[in-house]
Amino acid sequence: MTEGLSIVIPTHGRHDLLAELLESISIDADGAGFDVEVIIVDDSPPKEKERILQTAAGYNAKVIQGVASVGVKRNMGAKEASYELILFLDSDVKILPGTLHAHMERLVHEPEDVAGCLGKVVFIGQPTYAWQVIEAMQLPLPFSLYPDLVDYVTWGPTANLSVRRKQFLQVGGFDSTMPRYGGEDVDLGFRLDNQGLRIATAPDAVAEHAIETWGTWNQNLRRLWSFGLADYYLLIRHPERCFYGVVP
């Protein structure tokens, strides 16, 4: 594979947020110094899909038909990737200048046992009371603080996570049999770790995450319910990670 970076974005609706993300990628890619491709894996309803197709065409981004599972979407995008390094971004983030270079630099200069790189995700927008409760519960910590605190992590949120394609496919990518409650990023990290592979961090790789997708009680009640179910299945799949019922 030639040198470059493939960006994989799973989508379902959120056209306006996706447009902001594509614009931020375009700005950062202009000065990156290497080739960048964008692959959008979408399963939006027809009207929203048409808007996404039109916007993607304006940024020379490839759109492929996906399924409901976000993990499967990311696997599909990774298989379509032209480059060895793949960056997964969520559709409700936008990246700051220097993010693409930071991911590339960290992975290029790390040994082969470093299979991925976690960037930082900072939440922006008008805080709501529902968001402030989530923030007080420290749920955003894996997104915002890990890259500042440590050089390597066992897992990282896929809102801003790059991987080496070879090692990612070697462990089977995201587990397509995981129930659709989330936790596929934690599961991937554990499986990489079980193979002696590490995830580095890059605090200069920054994605801004819209609070609006975490800003209402309904959104966060569904999120907490899903997180709880995901933890249940993670404990079943990785009992060696348990200590008195806590995932380390």
**Contacts for 88 with CB less than 8 Å, ≥ 6 apart:** 7, 8, 9, 74, 77, 158, 159, 160, 161, 162, 163
Residue 142: pLDDT over 90: no
Pairwise CA distance, residues 144 & 247, whole Å: 20
> For residue range 145-185, what is the model confidence (pLDDT) as tens digits?
889 999 999 999 999 999 999 999 999 999 988 877 788 99
List domains and CATH numbers for the chain.
4-240 (3.90.550.10)
Mean of all residue pLDDT scores within the chain:
92
Residue 13: pLDDT over 60: yes
Burial class (CB in 10 A: 0-12, 13-18, 19+), 178: buried
Q: What is the pLDDT of residue 26?
A: 97
Going by the DSSP 8-state scheme, the letter that residue 67 receives in this structure is -
> For residue range 31-69, what is the model confidence (pLDDT) as tens digits?
889 999 999 999 999 999 999 999 999 999 999 999 888
245 pLDDT band, cuts 50/70/90, is: very low
Q: What is the pLDDT of residue 244?
A: 57
Residue 8: pLDDT over 80: yes
Residue 248: pLDDT over 60: no
29 pLDDT band, cuts 50/70/90, is: very high
Which pTM value belongs to this model?
A: 0.92
> For residue range 71-120, what is the model confidence (pLDDT) as tens digits?
999 999 999 999 999 999 999 999 999 999 999 999 999 999 999 999 99
Q: What is the pLDDT of residue 40?
A: 98
1 pLDDT band, cuts 50/70/90, is: very low
**Contacts for 113 with CB less than 8 Å, ≥ 6 apart:** 196, 197, 198
